[in-house]
Structure 1
Amino acid sequence: MDEEITSKGIIGRGMRVLLRAIRMEPFMFTLGALGAIVHSGTTIAGAFVSGAIVDMVVVPSVENGEPALAALAIAVVVLIFVSLLKIAGMISRRLGAGAMQFRLQARHRRLVTRRYLGLPVSWHQKHQTGTLLSNANADVEAAFVPIAPLPFAVGTLVMLAAAMVALFATDWALALVGTLIFPALFLLNVVYSRKMSPRMTRAQQLRAEVSAVAHESFDGALVVKTMGREAEETTRFNVSADELRDSLIRVGRLRGLFDPIMSALPDIGTLAVLVVGVWRLSSGAIGVAEIVSVTFLFSVLAFPVRAITWVLADLPASVVGWERVHGVLKATGDMTYGNGALDREGPARLAFDSVSFSYEDGTKVLRDVTFDVAPGKTIALVGPTGSGKSTIASLATRLIDPDGGVIRVDETDSRTLKHAELAASVALVPQVPFVFDDDVRGNITLGRDLGSSDPDEQVWNSLRIAQADGFVAKLDDGLDTQVGERGTSLSGGQRQRLTLARALAGRPRLLIMDDATSAVDPKVESAILAGLKDSDNPASVLVVAYRRATIALADEVVYLEGGTVVARGSHETLLAKVPGYANLVTAYERAEAERAAEGEFIDDSEVSA
């Protein structure tokens, strides 16, 4: 996705991006290009109208000593007409270019965002969040920056072609000046583009790096501040920011060198026209009108020609932005879904049949894992760190797919189900709770249709099961309380219970809890698990558990070691017959007793952070 872009072939690749954009927005491009052509045509016409006015109005008035009022009135009408056409062309050009650019940017932001949502978690884990934000924003903008001056540049090309025809029709010597100046402008643009390409490429890449560093620092603000690493993080950000600054200075320095030259060439052409024109006038080959027209033409070309420079100058950044965006749109790793459906009646059955899973580097995580969760039962998944418990939770909710084996929900292969069908029946409460910068109600409903005549009652019911209704009721605005970014106004236990209530609000038939109550008091945790069994919509539960009290509440325990199911049975049976399980559970119990003795666990159900 971060493929290096060099100046080689940059114009050709940039033109392909522009042609692709034109094919996507043909109407708006046509509107802008036609407006630019009308604007260019009236600019050339204005030059020759000015020459005619000098020849037919100014010169006779000077020679006769009195103004030619009739001719002057005609000249005013013609100038007004030409000006109105020029204004109409300018409006059309700007509307077409602006609408085309903003539509393309909006479309591709949506495409990139949809692609992010369609890619598996494993893909996201390999890409920095700051880089992904840059892809969806800065890169999309950069890809279509040349669209703004593109119709103007098209009109300028038409203007230059028409100007050359007009020059040859006027006088060969004046046309010779144009044949020297206009190719020089194009040559300078090409050189400028090639010199600018690597500089713009580096600047675009550094923008993504600065965004990534900033996002990481902000996201880890709590760690940075508690560890006293503010100065180091500031230095790290400054290094990236300074590199971006230096890169943009190099871009500005090159632009500052070429822009005056680009502006000076038409002025040099104007001086050359005056010199050649005086010589041709003295020989009687042309008149004053021709000199005035051509001189005026060269003077008005200075600004439009810059449009070509703008397009070519933005091509390197456009190519970089497009190829980074295109890298996201073409990213592989899609999870395909079928058209299968579930009955959605009663608790679901979950079955793992000889499931294996490996990371992309070849590290084996799970080996021939087989177990099931019977409808309405609670299964505790227990094992030492790195045994594959969280991987099983991700596989059960199909955030990832296994390398081998089959995962079934209600005897149906989960890969054959519709995405919406699986999401409606299976819910995951992750280890780390994520709370949106919204009110309590919004965090629980997530804008979903909860299928209830009284959605708030369903929200409160979910909060009651999650043992969160007490602290929510005491908040100043209840369900309307804004909880802040990532739920900063709540304690860790409150955030966990809020995310559990979010999962329960959708009435899942299978609930996966990946150590989702680690910050909750053990008594509250027991009440939560009891509430799940006694609710009006009971669900099968697979809980990644560490505490002995939690494990004891489960109907059955599945014990993992090294990615393999070593034993399964009741807590008492495994405790008596499996030494590894007994050592692990008692170790957790001893650690928890120490934390409790130190006052680490408190019942925060009535406390707001």
Structure 2
Amino acid sequence: MLLRLLAPRLRPYRALLALLVALQLVQSLASLALPTLNAGVIDQGVLRGDTDRVLGGGATMVAVTLLQAAAAAAATYTGARIAMGVARDLRSEVFRRVQEFSARERGRFGAASLITRTTNDIQQIQTFTVLVLTMLVAAPLLCFGGIAMALRQDVPLALVLFLFVPVMAGAVGSVVLRMRPLFKGMQDRIDRANRVLREQITGVRVVRAFVRDRHERERFATANDELRSVGLRAGRLQALMFPTVLIVWELTTVALVYVGAHRIESGALQPGGLVAFLGYLLQTSMSVMMVLFLLMNMPRAEAGAERVREVLDTRSSVVPPVHPVRTTAGRGHLEVKGADFRYPGAEESVLRDVWLEARPGETTAVIGSTGSGKSTLLGLVPRLFDATGGEVLVDGVDVRKLDPELTARTVGLVAQKPYLFSGTVATNLRYGRPDASDEELWHALEVAQAADFVRGLDEGLDAPVSQGGTNLSGGQRQRLAIARVLVARPRLYLFDDSFSALDPRTDARLRAALREETADATVVVVAQRVSTIRQADRIVVLDRGRNVGTGTHSSLMRDNPTYREIVLSQLTEEEAA
């Protein structure tokens, strides 16, 4: 999984990879030359008292060491640059895929999990990639080159070295196999902790209103303890690896010194040769340690790659058209013909055979009890999700055939829970139309009944807005969201219970201003308050996902029991007349 994820994303860095291989080749060859040079200085210089040989050999070793260090530093930098580039590309790819997701896919993964996969999981992959690239050539060359150079020094001693590698590989392999599922569990528990933390932060008002601080602390403590528990189990396994390597290395060193002393005593080996042999043992050990460290990080990176791959392999249920319609003639005429919608895994459909028509120059209202499918119906128009049956047409074209950019220009949705981005009032208003002038922004604010409170802010249009608009009241957020859609000037306006946080007086003024501003456009309003929609040209009544009535306020009061029941739950007979 990890190799399949990385291989295609390393191709754009082929030139840097070639440079990395060359640098590591120089680094490794220089490292392998040093013990042999050291043996020559000892045998031909120190033991014979030849000062010139010692100085000359020492100068050569210094030069080779400097070359090795320079190549190692350059290789490390190049490897890190490639790994960070791959991680950047991968984050961008995941971000683009998440942007394509419909509400269905986002709900399946959850926001906390998607954030963890885009940040923590890719960070694990980046760390592993740095290690792989750093050891790409150096580790194999130092290991096999060290063994080959050791064989040149003395074959019997090399047999001792051969025992070192398989013992170490077996010990490390058994631990790594046990670590992989633990690291997968760690990433899942990081998801859980992030989800609890995110819910606590976003729902802090509810938590405090119900005095559930202790309950939330316990929830987070449970998630945190589970993460700690899995982390400790993985840590205990990691802790076994280095002592195991160290013990095997020390025993091998003792064995080499013991055998080497006998070889020197018999005249079969020079003292410099034993020193060189110990140097090659150190290099072989270092290469094994490098691979060991790589294998320690591999399970976590493998788990991260699996989770990232899951996101990248998920296709949105809202598929862009192959041959999109890029222009339409009309003013946002909306037709819903026999629309059905069912969430994956749900036993019942949210919408069943819904029919609706909203004409330009008119206001069409949708009303119904909680859970009747009003918001879902509006979500079908901008393709937050696609209908599982029937058609949704804008200006005579199925929305599934419209170019996404045309849909964005044609349809303006004010969601039930409007979201504001961190920035300023102006940047939020220009979100749908970046080139809008300040005069257009103020005009939209006037219509949305938000101009007065924006003028009251110290910096006006440049006043800061925190993430989610948490430094503004609910009514202020709703009015800014309405103004944002007005700045974009779509042909079809969708207001999903967008006036619920407004007081009746502001609501009335806003609706009057909207009627004038959107006189030539198509307007669809979802509302719970009858007072908001009673003047609409057409009212559609939903009940349990079905269209149970269409007409004006007066005709529905006379002929539709469902609508009459909703109205009389809010107004008296005299007020409803």
Q: Which bin holds the TM-score, normalised by the shorter protein?
A: over 0.9
Aligned-residue offset at 1:447: 7.2
Do the aligned partners of 2:41 and 2:57 also contact (CA within 8 Å) in 1?
A: yes
Q: How is 1:218-229 mapped onto 2 (pairs within 5 angstroms)? A: 218-229=201-212
Q: State the distance in 1 between where 2:113 and 2:173 align.
A: 31
Question: Partner amino acid for 1:36?
Answer: Q
Q: State the distance in 2 between where 1:312 and 1:407 align.
A: 53
From 249, 262, 266, give the equivalent of 1:283: 266
Compare 188-197 and 406-415 and name the one that shifted more.
Answer: 188-197
From 126, 139, 147, give the equivalent of 1:164: 147
CA pair 334-24 structure 1, distance change in 2 beyond 3 A: farther
CA pair 152-564 structure 1, distance change in 2 beyond 3 A: closer
Match of 1:91 in 2: 73
From 366, 379, 387, give the equivalent of 1:381: 366
| 1:500 is the counterpart of 2:488 | no
What are the Cα deviations for residues 250-270 of structure 1, in whole angstroms up to 9, with x where unaligned?
A: 222222222122133333322
Q: State the distance in 2 between where 1:15 and 1:273 align.
A: 38
Match of 2:128 in 1: 146
| 1:424 is the counterpart of 2:409 | yes
Compare 231-240 and 394-403 and name the one that shifted more.
Answer: 394-403
Question: Partner amino acid for 1:123?
Answer: E
Q: State the distance in 2 between where 1:95 and 1:541 align.
A: 58
CA pair 523-135 structure 1, distance change in 2 beyond 3 A: same
Match of 1:600 in 2: none
Match of 1:487 in 2: 469
Aligned-residue offset at 1:166: 1.4
Identity of aligned residues (%): 30
Match of 1:395 in 2: 380
Do the aligned partners of 1:468 and 1:498 also contact (CA within 8 Å) in 2?
A: yes
Match of 1:412 in 2: 397
Question: Partner amino acid for 2:443?
Answer: N
Secondary structure of the equivalent of 2:207? helix
Compare 113-122 and 32-41 and name the one that shifted more.
Answer: 32-41
CA pair 47-581 structure 1, distance change in 2 beyond 3 A: same
Aligned-residue offset at 1:22: 4.6
Aligned-residue offset at 1:590: 6.2
Question: Partner amino acid for 1:341?
Answer: R
Number of aligned positions between the proteins: 570
From 418, 438, 454, give the equivalent of 1:472: 454
Match of 2:423 in 1: 438
From 170, 179, 182, give the equivalent of 2:165: 182
| 1:28 is the counterpart of 2:11 | no
Do the aligned partners of 1:349 and 1:510 also contact (CA within 8 Å) in 2?
A: yes
Secondary structure of the equivalent of 1:144? helix
Compare 105-114 and 88-97 and name the one that shifted more.
Answer: 88-97
Question: Partner amino acid for 1:55?
Answer: D
Question: Partner amino acid for 1:258?
Answer: M
Compare 418-427 and 347-356 and name the one that shifted more.
Answer: 347-356
Aligned-residue offset at 1:93: 2.0
Do the aligned partners of 1:507 and 1:537 also contact (CA within 8 Å) in 2?
A: no
Aligned-residue offset at 1:538: 4.0
Calculate the TM-score normalised by the size of structure 1. 0.89
Do the aligned partners of 2:352 and 2:546 also contact (CA within 8 Å) in 1?
A: yes
Q: State the distance in 2 between where 1:334 and 1:60 align.
A: 81
Match of 1:605 in 2: none
Secondary structure of the equivalent of 1:495? helix
Aligned-residue offset at 1:19: 4.7
Question: Partner amino acid for 2:111?
Answer: T
Do the aligned partners of 1:387 and 1:563 also contact (CA within 8 Å) in 2?
A: yes
Q: How is 1:449-464 mapped onto 2 (pairs within 5 angstroms)? A: 449-450=434-435, 452=436, 455-464=437-446
Q: State the distance in 1 between where 2:470 and 2:241 align.
A: 51
Compare 421-430 and 161-170 and name the one that shifted more.
Answer: 161-170
Aligned-residue offset at 1:352: 0.9
Aligned-residue offset at 1:545: 2.1
Do the aligned partners of 1:344 and 1:425 also contact (CA within 8 Å) in 2?
A: no
Q: State the distance in 1 between where 2:96 and 2:363 align.
A: 35
Match of 1:7 in 2: none
Question: Partner amino acid for 2:189?
Answer: L
| 1:560 is the counterpart of 2:542 | yes
Aligned-residue offset at 1:15: 5.3
| 1:137 is the counterpart of 2:100 | no
Q: State the distance in 1 between where 2:4 and 2:374 align.
A: 49
Aligned-residue offset at 1:120: 0.8
Calculate the TM-score normalised by the size of structure 2. 0.94
Do the aligned partners of 1:201 and 1:320 also contact (CA within 8 Å) in 2?
A: yes
Question: Partner amino acid for 2:20?
Answer: G
Q: State the distance in 2 between where 1:22 and 1:187 align.
A: 31
Q: Which runs of 5+ in 1 are unaligned?
A: 1-12, 62-67, 594-609
Compare 400-409 and 361-370 and name the one that shifted more.
Answer: 361-370
Aligned-residue offset at 1:50: 0.9
Do the aligned partners of 2:556 and 2:563 also contact (CA within 8 Å) in 1?
A: yes
Compare 80-89 and 305-314 and name the one that shifted more.
Answer: 80-89
Secondary structure of the equivalent of 1:432? coil
Do the aligned partners of 1:152 and 1:307 also contact (CA within 8 Å) in 2?
A: no
Question: Partner amino acid for 1:185?
Answer: M
* TM superposition outliers: structure 1 runs of 4+ over 4 Å: 13-24
Do the aligned partners of 2:143 and 2:283 also contact (CA within 8 Å) in 1?
A: no
Q: How is 1:264-283 mapped onto 2 (pairs within 5 angstroms)? A: 264-283=247-266
Do the aligned partners of 1:384 and 1:560 also contact (CA within 8 Å) in 2?
A: yes
| 1:348 is the counterpart of 2:336 | no
| 1:545 is the counterpart of 2:530 | no
Secondary structure of the equivalent of 2:173? helix
Question: Partner amino acid for 1:489?
Answer: N
Do the aligned partners of 1:344 and 1:509 also contact (CA within 8 Å) in 2?
A: no
| 1:259 is the counterpart of 2:245 | no
Question: Partner amino acid for 2:270?
Answer: G
Do the aligned partners of 1:441 and 1:480 also contact (CA within 8 Å) in 2?
A: yes
Match of 1:606 in 2: none
Match of 1:292 in 2: 275
What are the Cα deviations for residues 440-489 of structure 1, in whole angstroms up to 9, with x where unaligned?
A: 11121127434x4xx11111111111111111111111111113232222
Q: State the distance in 2 between where 1:373 and 1:113 align.
A: 35
Match of 1:317 in 2: 300
Match of 1:214 in 2: 197
Match of 1:126 in 2: 108
| 1:114 is the counterpart of 2:96 | yes
Question: Partner amino acid for 1:57?
Answer: G
Aligned-residue offset at 1:422: 0.4
Aligned-residue offset at 1:43: 1.5
CA pair 546-19 structure 1, distance change in 2 beyond 3 A: closer
Do the aligned partners of 1:433 and 1:499 also contact (CA within 8 Å) in 2?
A: yes
Q: State the distance in 2 between where 1:16 and 1:489 align.
A: 45
Match of 1:359 in 2: 343
Q: Which runs of 5+ in 2 are unaligned?
A: none
Do the aligned partners of 2:358 and 2:522 also contact (CA within 8 Å) in 1?
A: yes
| 1:204 is the counterpart of 2:155 | no
Do the aligned partners of 2:334 and 2:357 also contact (CA within 8 Å) in 1?
A: yes
Aligned-residue offset at 1:182: 2.0
